[in-house]
Homo-oligomer: A and B are copies of this chain.
Amino acid sequence: MIMINQPLAALACMLAFITAIAHAADPLPSWNDGKSKQSITAYVEKVAKEGSADFVPVAERIACFDNDGTLWAEQPMYFQLFFALDRIKALAPQHPEWKEKEPFASLLKGDVKAALAGGEHALAQIVMATHAGLTTEEFEKIVADWITTAKHPKTGKLYTEMVYQPMLELLSYLRSNGFKTYIVSGGGIEFMRPWVEKTYGIPPEQVIGSSGGLKYEIRDGKPVLIKLPEIFHNDDKDGKPVGIQRHIGRRPIFAAGNSDGDLQMLQWTAAGTRPSFCLYVHHTDAAREWAYDRQSSIGKLDKGLDEANEKIWTVVDMKNDWQTIFPITP
């Protein structure tokens, strides 16, 4: 008996020691000590602690993250638009009519601003022309090729190198505390799925985004899904809680965004019966990233900022709360 108990005790000791080390290691090393970091860890500890009055069962630990401006950068324009522009250029030889037709004509001359003067309609035309007609597998391959080669015009980095290191740590930290992490983005669902698993550790089935029509058909004896030139779901603003309900069917307890387009998701999260956590990333760092909020045409944060202050949500000040912005790349 003693022979067995002693080593078992030693094992238990060792386990306790390893656990202690794990706990001692900072799960959010790129976050400066301060109110933001503290509010996150205090929340996670209380909902994950069995016996705590605020304990939430693992199955209900749903965390939703916006992508553009929350997990990766979004300036000077949404990265998916850079993708679409590259597709327009690649497809132009097959579309001689684009030389005369807006928004394509301006785009091909390199005048993105003029092209986007057409607003949402112009944007929809660009996305449809570049995304529709392909099978889902063809599209996946095109995205996968682009994301591993295309570079951001200002930083010269791969787009996946412009993800926020502190947010990667937050995703990991939540997952290690039993949270299921989702992306809930206005970006295209099929544009994100090919790379987010590797980049964020989020599998395709945990990605919610805008989507177009899909049509099942048999081509050359093989079933395929064809992308149609129509909007099926616009996963922005009101569309975010709707997308969450459709995909998850449970209300999140944790939500993070950076713009007014995320406000409804945060409201929906905050209004649940469980203790919830709402976070806004505030772009305050013109030197290391970009600084913008109430007046920005991309990632406008105005009403959301007011509501966050009023409801005492966590507003992350990128300049002061984050020690590093992007991951260090070799």
Contact residues of A with B, CB < 8 Å?
Answer: 3-4, 6-8, 10, 59, 62, 136, 180, 189-190, 193, 197, 203-205, 207, 211, 214-216, 218, 222-223, 225, 238-239, 241-242, 245-250, 264, 267-268, 271
Question: Interface majority SS on A: helix, strand, loop or mixed?
Answer: helix
Contact yes or no, B249 A205, CB < 8 A = yes
Q: Which residues of B contact A197 (CB under 8 A)?
A: 59
Contact A268 B3, CB 8 Å, known A193-B249, A241-B223: no
Report the copy number of this chain in the oligomer. 2
* A223: contacting residue among B6, B7, B189, B264, CB under 8 A: B264
**Interchain nearest-CB distance for A142 vs B (Å):** 16
Please state if B271 and A242 are interface contacts (CB–CB under 8 Å): no
Given contacts A205-B248, A245-B225, A216 and B238 within 8 Å (CB-CB): yes
Task: Kindly report which residue of chain B lies nearest to residue A190, judged by CB atoms.
Answer: B249
CB < 8 Å neighbour of A245 from B10, B214, B241 = B214
Provide the bound-state CA to CA distance between A275 and B250, in Å: 33
Interchain CB contact under 8 A, B225 and A241: yes
Residues on the B chain within 8 Å of A6, using CB: 3
**Complex CA–CA separation, A204 to B62 (angstroms):** 12
Interface centre among A62, A197, A214 (most CB of B within 10 A): A214
